[in-house]
Chain A
Amino acid sequence: MQKQQQVEADRSTLAVSAMKQKSVLLRRYRWRKRVALPYLFLAPFLVLFMLFFILPLGYALGISLFADRLVGGTVFVGSQNYLQALQDSSFWEGIRRMLLFMVVQVPVMLCLALTFALLLDSGVAKLRTLFRLGFFLPYAIPSVVSALLWGYLYSSNFGPFAQIASSLHLPAPGFLTDSGMLASIGNIVTWQWTGYNMIILYAALQAIPSELYEAALVDGATGWKVARYIKIPLIAPALVLTCVFSIIGSLQLFNEPQIMSTLAPNVIGDHYTPNLYAYNLAFNDQQYNYSAAISFTLGAIVFVCSYIFMFATNRGRQR
């Protein structure tokens, strides 16, 4: 009797533990499916992202809080490098120059890109494939090569512009002088990136369903009116995207001035752009800590500029 009860009790505990085991297995299986598997697939990217984005940023932030002293080696100085950066006239000269560059070059480039995209999309012009590819082509050229190329074209020795000027008995245009350099660099950047921005805007225009403006055309709206009141508002997100990327790019200008500095070393000093300044601080002066602080301050300014821009356009669109 007792024995039988014992067996039954054993059986029931066995059943319960089996059920428990099953639910543990099930939970473990679900966890595997819901958490472990996605992260396993993400692991290659996340590891690289940690190593080459998060870690360098953290490291730069870390070393920007220290300074190398002749006596005592590396010491913690807190915000001192940042205070120094805020009062550094070399740094601000570069920032002012890049802001000026941004305020002129970005609108010129994007207006051109938008005009081209609208013309190509509306089908007014002929040879559209040729134009699209021809305008985009400079994007495929390394910025170093385009800077070299334009540097030669600007040259007062054998550049074609100087040759044409001298055959007309005019002085060679001062592309590489103090007053002309920023515009010359602006031209290189515009040459290189207009086509890329045009393609983005063109792609957005092509995605607009044509029913949206066919009615307006039938009602007799001109191509310009359709562009102004229907197409441009509809591609506003793409326009904002191109603006933000252009703002980020122009504030970080480095390759073009760095190449041009070999052609005109007296015009482009070591702090012509903030990025060039950070580079020269780190690699010519070995001031890694201060250079990191400069990079971070620049990063903050870039972030603030793009944020202000997005905020402003968002409010403008909601109104």
Chain B
Amino acid sequence: MAISVNTPVSREAHGVHPGQNKRTRRTRRGLATAFLLVFLVYFLLPLFWLIVSATKTNPDLFTSFGLWFSSDFNLFNNLGDLFTHDSGVFLTWLWNTAYYATCAAVGASLIATLAGYVFAKFRFPGRTLVFAIILGSIMVPSTALAIPTYLLLSKVGLINTPLAVVLPSLASPFGVFLMRIYAEQAIPDELLDAARVDGAGEMRIFWSVALRILVPGFVTVLLFSFVATWNNYFLPLLVLSDPTYYPLTLGLASWNAQASANGGAQLLFTLVLTGSLISILPLIVAFLFLQRYWQGGLTLGSIRS
């Protein structure tokens, strides 16, 4: 695993009693590490089971012990089956998911950055009220929104199109909240004034001065909207009915429903498991490589609230 970009400052010294002798200190360290190790097993065991299961044939899934590899290493056959089953529909789902997530994430974070920048750096009538409404909307339950959104989209004929998934994902109130805090801290007013004195237009100032400073916040919002869209299930479940538009979550759930209905007689179980493994890999890689951003982003959100 490619771990560690910026590990926060170590605080070895704290929590250690200066008057304590070495042995109790070591025992405490050992106990704390053991406690955390138990939970590490808990958090990683299902993933280990997933990896093991993706290497098994369908009969082995039922007969061999779940937490270890069986003698027959079938991963490559499973992958072959996965990408050819149902004339390669899995690849379509993978592509759809990447497409929806990329469009939604790039759009949502650009729009949120622009809005957050304005809330942070401009004084205009209605600023407090509008921002309060946006903040309040974070509390609105997603179901209260999803079903009327479905009905409205069907009125304008957007049901069962990619737009029905992408458009609602473009408005990210949490992204605006995050970018406002980030812009308030990162952009000095003097810098903007200097650019104005030099005669730069506001649009130009945003693109060539502010946006550059806002990159870390932008990447945070980008990552979180990407994950939210990649993992979204409820909205696509409502607005999509044609399997060729499905994202991975919906596709895998539909295979799972078929497999369960058939009592596992088909080879679908191995497909669902191998497909699940493939579907989570991109996000795990993204989180490992972009650690600095998501950890920084969550700090911002928690300090200010």
Question: Interface of A with B (CB < 8 Å)?
Answer: 34-35, 37-39, 41-42, 44-46, 48-49, 51-53, 55-57, 59-60, 63, 112, 116, 119-131, 133-138, 140-146, 148-153, 157-160, 163, 191, 194-195, 199-201, 203-204, 206-207, 210, 213-214, 217-218, 220, 222-223, 226, 235, 237-238, 240-241, 248, 251-252, 254-255, 259, 262-263, 275, 278-279, 282-283, 288, 291-292, 295-296, 298-299, 302-303, 306
B76-84, B147-155, B211-219: which one contacts chain A?
B147-155
On chain B, the residues within 8 Å of A130 by CB distance are 3, 40
Q: Is the CB of A131 within 8 A of B14?
A: no
Known contacts A53-B137, A163-B66; A38/B122 CB under 8 A:
yes
On chain B, the residues within 8 Å of A138 by CB distance are 43, 46-47
Q: Is the CB of A53 within 8 A of B279?
A: no
- In the assembly, what is the distance between CA of A191 and CA of B46, in Å? 10
Q: Is the CB of B302 within 8 A of A129?
A: no
Q: How far is the CB of B242 from chain A (nearest CB, A)?
A: 16
Q: Is the CB of B249 within 8 A of A288?
A: no
Judged by a CB distance under 8 angstroms, whether B195 is at the interface is no
The CB with the most chain B CB atoms within 10 A, among A56, A122, A240, A299, is that of A56
Q: Is the CB of A63 within 8 A of B62?
A: no
- In the assembly, what is the distance between CA of A262 and CA of B288, in Å? 33
**What are 11 inter-chain pairs, A to B, with CB distance below 8 A?**
A41-B114, A53-B171, A130-B3, A133-B1, A137-B47, A144-B250, A157-B62, A158-B66, A163-B65, A237-B302, A298-B143
Q: How far is the CB of B16 from chain A (nearest CB, A)?
A: 8
Lowest 5 CB-CB distances: which A-B pairs, in order? A122-B15, A160-B66, A142-B231, A203-B299, A56-B148
Contact of B32 among A49, A124, A220 (CB under 8 A): A124
Task: Render B56-70 as a binary contact track against A, CB cut-off 8 A, 1 for contact.
Answer: 000001100111000
On chain A, the residues within 8 Å of B173 by CB distance are 49, 53
- In the assembly, what is the distance between CA of A5 and CA of B141, in Å? 75
The CB with the most chain B CB atoms within 10 A, among A127, A141, A145, is that of A145
On chain B, the residues within 8 Å of A158 by CB distance are 61-62, 66
Q: How far is the CB of A220 from chain B (nearest CB, A)?
A: 6
On chain A, the residues within 8 Å of B18 by CB distance are 217-218, 220
Task: Render B130-146 as a binary contact track against A, CB cut-off 8 A, 1 for contact.
Answer: 10001001011111110
- In the assembly, what is the distance between CA of A299 and CA of B8, in Å? 39
Q: Is the CB of B46 within 8 A of A150?
A: yes
Q: Which partner residue on chain A sits nearest B125 by CB separation?
A: A35
Judged by a CB distance under 8 angstroms, whether B287 is at the interface is yes
Q: Which partner residue on chain B sits nearest A281 by CB separation?
A: B147
Within 221-279 of B, Cβ neighbours of A (below 8 Å) are at: 227, 230-231, 233-234, 238, 248-250, 252-253, 256-257, 260-261, 264, 269, 272-273, 276, 279
- In the assembly, what is the distance between CA of A243 and CA of B87, in Å? 46
Contact of A53 among B118, B140, B227, B299 (CB under 8 A): B140
Task: Render B28-44 as a binary contact track against A, CB cut-off 8 A, 1 for contact.
Answer: 11001101100110111
Q: How far is the CB of B251 from chain A (nearest CB, A)?
A: 10
Q: Is the CB of A131 within 8 A of B145?
A: no
On chain B, the residues within 8 Å of A292 by CB distance are 147-148
Q: How far is the CB of A235 from chain B (nearest CB, A)?
A: 8
Q: Is the CB of B148 within 8 A of A136?
A: no
Q: Is the CB of B36 within 8 A of A123?
A: no
Q: Is the CB of A191 within 8 A of B40?
A: no
- In the assembly, what is the distance between CA of A160 and CA of B10, in Å? 39
Judged by a CB distance under 8 angstroms, whether B23 is at the interface is no
Contact of A200 among B168, B284, B298 (CB under 8 A): B298
Task: Render B151-165 as a binary contact track against A, CB cut-off 8 A, 1 for contact.
Answer: 110000000000000
On chain A, the residues within 8 Å of B114 by CB distance are 41-42, 44-45
Interface size on B, residues (CB 8 A): 109
Contact of B122 among A37, A123, A204 (CB under 8 A): A37
Q: Given contacts A41-B206, A121-B11, A299-B141, could you give 17 more A-B pairs where the C-beta distance is less than 8 Å?
A: A41-B202, A44-B111, A45-B115, A52-B145, A122-B15, A124-B32, A141-B231, A142-B233, A148-B253, A160-B65, A204-B299, A217-B17, A223-B15, A226-B14, A279-B147, A292-B148, A298-B141
Judged by a CB distance under 8 angstroms, whether B199 is at the interface is no
Q: Which partner residue on chain B sits nearest A119 by CB separation?
A: B32
Judged by a CB distance under 8 angstroms, whether B53 is at the interface is yes
Q: Which partner residue on chain B sits nearest A252 by CB separation?
A: B141
- In the assembly, what is the distance between CA of A251 and CA of B140, in Å? 12
Known contacts A148-B252, A298-B144; A48/B167 CB under 8 A:
yes
Judged by a CB distance under 8 angstroms, whether B13 is at the interface is yes
Contact of B42 among A49, A148, A191 (CB under 8 A): A191
Q: Is the CB of B256 within 8 A of A262?
A: yes
Contact of B252 among A57, A144, A199, A279 (CB under 8 A): A144
Q: Is the CB of A129 within 8 A of B4?
A: yes
Judged by a CB distance under 8 angstroms, whether B117 is at the interface is yes
On chain B, the residues within 8 Å of A237 by CB distance are 302-303, 305
Known contacts A56-B149, A203-B298, A262-B257; A217/B14 CB under 8 A:
yes
Contact of A41 among B47, B118, B238 (CB under 8 A): B118
Q: How far is the CB of B60 from chain A (nearest CB, A)?
A: 9
Known contacts A48-B167, A199-B298; A112/B284 CB under 8 A:
no
Q: How far is the CB of B294 from chain A (nearest CB, A)?
A: 8
Q: Is the CB of B260 within 8 A of A295?
A: no
Judged by a CB distance under 8 angstroms, whether B7 is at the interface is yes
Q: How far is the CB of A216 from chain B (nearest CB, A)?
A: 10
Q: Is the CB of A42 within 8 A of B118?
A: yes
Q: Is the CB of A133 within 8 A of B32?
A: no
